[in-house]
Amino acid sequence: MTQPELFDGPALLPLAPGACVLRGFAAADAPALWACLQAEVLPQAPWRHLVTPGGYTMSVAMTNCGRVGWVSDSSGYRYDPVDPLSGQSWPGMPPALLQLAAQAAAAAGFPGFVPDACLVNHYVAGSRLSLHQDRDERDHQAPIVSVSLGLPATFLFGGLRRTDRPQRLRLDHGDVVVWGGPSRLAYHGVAPLAAGEHALLGACRVNLTFRKAL
């Protein structure tokens, strides 16, 4: 990892070694990103609520695009090249999404990031994501890039142990969080989403999480 450089534009807020928030980094691109999802991803792979291996239905709806998609069922968590809902390959990752992920990673000090999976989460009022690690990927050298669209959310960013008290950060439309290096396996989550209305996305929040899975 290289040290992030100061740059003109969105503010860079350090969270921990290897982790930061890029305030407003994706704001200008947000309409194009949302249009790509609606035209190129959701028609082929619509939102769905996955079930955990323990039988719990996730409150957050999700889908994927890229070479592989993250899925969960009674057999466990894994990446799969096939959408279990359709039996077909996941939609390809739109170039606009791929470019933004690479630019955000580079701005945070991780040049050369080429994700092969994008997990797309859909939050409505009350949806939450409990503290967890992203550890199903084969390559833990690559960072995680997480893009927030729509309603604001409270992001929880902890340490390498589940018992570490997490930071609580408000993420607004267009904010991007990047974590890698010594923070790659940090626990993180999202507090229950508050009700509201966003000018572009309506009464929801959409989160794009880019990963190098293979």
Kindly list the domain boundaries of the chain, sorted by start residue.
12-211
**Per-residue pLDDT at 3:** 40
CB 64 within 8 A of CB 117: yes
Per-residue pLDDT tens for 73-93?
A: 988 999 999 999 999 999 999
**Per-residue pLDDT at 7:** 38
**Per-residue pLDDT at 17:** 97
**Per-residue pLDDT at 10:** 57
Query: What is the spatial distance between Cα 204 and Cα 96, in angstroms, rounded to a whole number?
Result: 21
Tell me whether strands 144-150 and 176-179 are parallel, antiparallel or unpaired.
Answer: antiparallel
Record the pTM: 0.94
Class of domain 12-211: mainly beta
Count of other CB atoms within 10 angstroms of residue 207: 22
**Per-residue pLDDT at 97:** 98
CB 178 within 8 A of CB 205: no
With a cut of 70, list the residues of the chain below it in pLDDT. Answer: 1-10
**Per-residue pLDDT at 139:** 82
For 103, list phi and psi in degrees, rounded to 5.
Answer: -65, -40
